[in-house]
Copies of this chain bind each other. A is one copy, B any other.
Amino acid sequence: MIWYKEKNNDDIIVSTRIRLARNLANYPFPNAMTSEQMRQASREIENSILNSNSTLSKSFKTYYIKETSDVDKQVLTEKHLISPDLLKKQEASVMISDDDSMSIMLMEEDHIRLQIILGGYKLDEAYETASRVDDVIDESLKYAFDKEFGYLTSCPTNTGTGLRASVMMHLPALTMTNNISRIISSASNFGIAVRGLYGEGSKAYGNLYQISNQITLGLSEKEIIEKVKNIVNQIAEHERDARKKLSENNKDYLEDRFYRAYGTLKYARSLSSQEAKTLLSDIIMGKNMEILKDINSNLIELMILAEPASIENKAGKRLTPDERDKMRAEMIRNNI
């Protein structure tokens, strides 16, 4: 099941992602490959997965970037199944498991970017699944691996384990109280990055932040995951404290703000993607703080479905920004 549809009782942690970067030994890194080499390497990796007699019994759908429509490309990005960078590579492709929990990007920055994405706080489970797929590929292909450095990657920041463990957190109270920048810089001292929803440089619309390890070298996979967990738990604690304090000191303000957000989402006839996310974030916070009651919609799913390409995808055609804002408002008010 795609991550945002999974049942998730955590009031702060939205989703978990494990990413492994791998390269084949007998090819140069993608930025130095010919198109023909890229196609050949991709075929080898695809076959190693599809032809394996392993516990990996998933079936995959492969999207070849040059054959994928603009809307599909953006929908996959909005669902976090691929990185924006993948779209810039004409010879790249992505294998997506039928249950949407696994995506294997080929010829992005590295030959293989294997990604497991699950709803809720499931770092261990996601890592175990990623490892199993990693083993399956490793059985039939030879990875670029160095005894001293570990897995070699195109960019040195991924060398070593090639592991990025990320957790998506909803941090409205820390944002509202202007504590988020302090959190970001102090996490950074521990080698942990706090970023917006779509990775580096992106803004945290909807108060969703990705917490992930910056360092992949010199620590074991387990150590990296424990480190991320440790910081995530601390940030969650801070967020809970901030919510508690806000609730004690600004209850009336919050109640008014959350109900207004609900009223606007319930009645507006036009909503920009940014406004929709901001208001949905308020409602999620209100629901989690038990100020708003009787809201049973999956609000994170609504945030994803409110993204521009998801709206166009639903409409089945290109839309002007105005048409999109109208359809977004309609979609949200019918589902809230």
Once the chains bind, are A269 and B264 in contact (CB under 8 Å)? Answer: no
Once the chains bind, are A266 and B269 in contact (CB under 8 Å)? Answer: no
* A260: B residues at CB distance < 8 A: 263-264, 267-269
Residues 6-39 (chain A) with a chain B CB within 8 angstroms: none
Bound CA–CA A51/B79 (angstroms): 82
Residues 229-276 (chain A) with a chain B CB within 8 angstroms: 252-253, 255-256, 259-260, 262-270
Once the chains bind, are A322 and B252 in contact (CB under 8 Å)? Answer: yes
A256-B329 CB under 8 A given contacts A263-B267, A267-B266: yes
Bound CA–CA A322/B252 (angstroms): 9
Give how many copies assemble into the complex. 2
- SS of A interface (majority): helix
Cross-interface CB contact of A267 among B253, B259, B269, B270, cutoff 8 Å: B259
Say if the beta carbon of A326 comes within 8 Å of chain B: yes
Nearest Cβ on chain B to A71's Cβ, whole angstroms: 24
Q: Name the residue of chain B whose CB is nearest to the CB of A329.
A: B256
Best-buried of A252, A268, A269 by chain B (most CB within 10 Å)? A269
* A255: B residues at CB distance < 8 A: 269
* A259: B residues at CB distance < 8 A: 267-269
Nearest Cβ on chain B to A330's Cβ, whole angstroms: 11
A266-B268 CB under 8 A given contacts A252-B322, A252-B326: no
Once the chains bind, are B252 and A263 in contact (CB under 8 Å)? Answer: no
User: What are 25 contact pairs spanning A and B, CB under 8 A?
Assistant: A252-B270, A252-B322, A252-B326, A253-B270, A255-B269, A256-B268, A256-B269, A256-B270, A256-B329, A259-B267, A259-B268, A259-B269, A260-B263, A260-B264, A260-B267, A260-B268, A260-B269, A262-B263, A262-B267, A263-B264, A263-B265, A263-B267, A263-B268, A264-B264, A266-B267
Contacts beyond the supplied A256-B270, A263-B263: 16 A-B pairs with Cβ under 8 Å: A252-B269, A252-B322, A253-B270, A256-B269, A256-B329, A259-B268, A260-B263, A260-B264, A260-B267, A260-B268, A262-B267, A263-B264, A263-B266, A263-B268, A264-B264, A266-B266
